[in-house]
Amino acid sequence: MNHGPAVPEEEVPFGNVFVHPAACAVFEASQAFPEQDCFACHQEHAAVAHTFVQFYPTLYEIAATHGTLRPDLAN
């Protein structure tokens, strides 16, 4: 299966956004945070069960309606 050139000359789709080829080097060179760091951040800062619904108004409203927000974020 041919997926095109390794480094495209034009912007390419990446999820629902388009990424310029120069940015691809950043994706290839970056390393993921250790899993325990991700979990610790989600544990401390996520609004609902390790999920950052506070950044998504529709999800935030649903969580508030169902009483599942962290107490310090509830209205």
pLDDT of 10-41, one tens digit each?
555 556 566 666 666 655 666 778 888 888 99
H/E stretch holding 58: helix 57-66
Between 70 and 3, the more confident residue is 70
Residue 1, token pair as written in the block: 């299966």
Q: What are the residues facing 48 on neighbouring strands?
A: 51
CA 24, CA 6: separation in Å to the nearest integer?
A: 10
Between 10 and 72, the more confident residue is 72
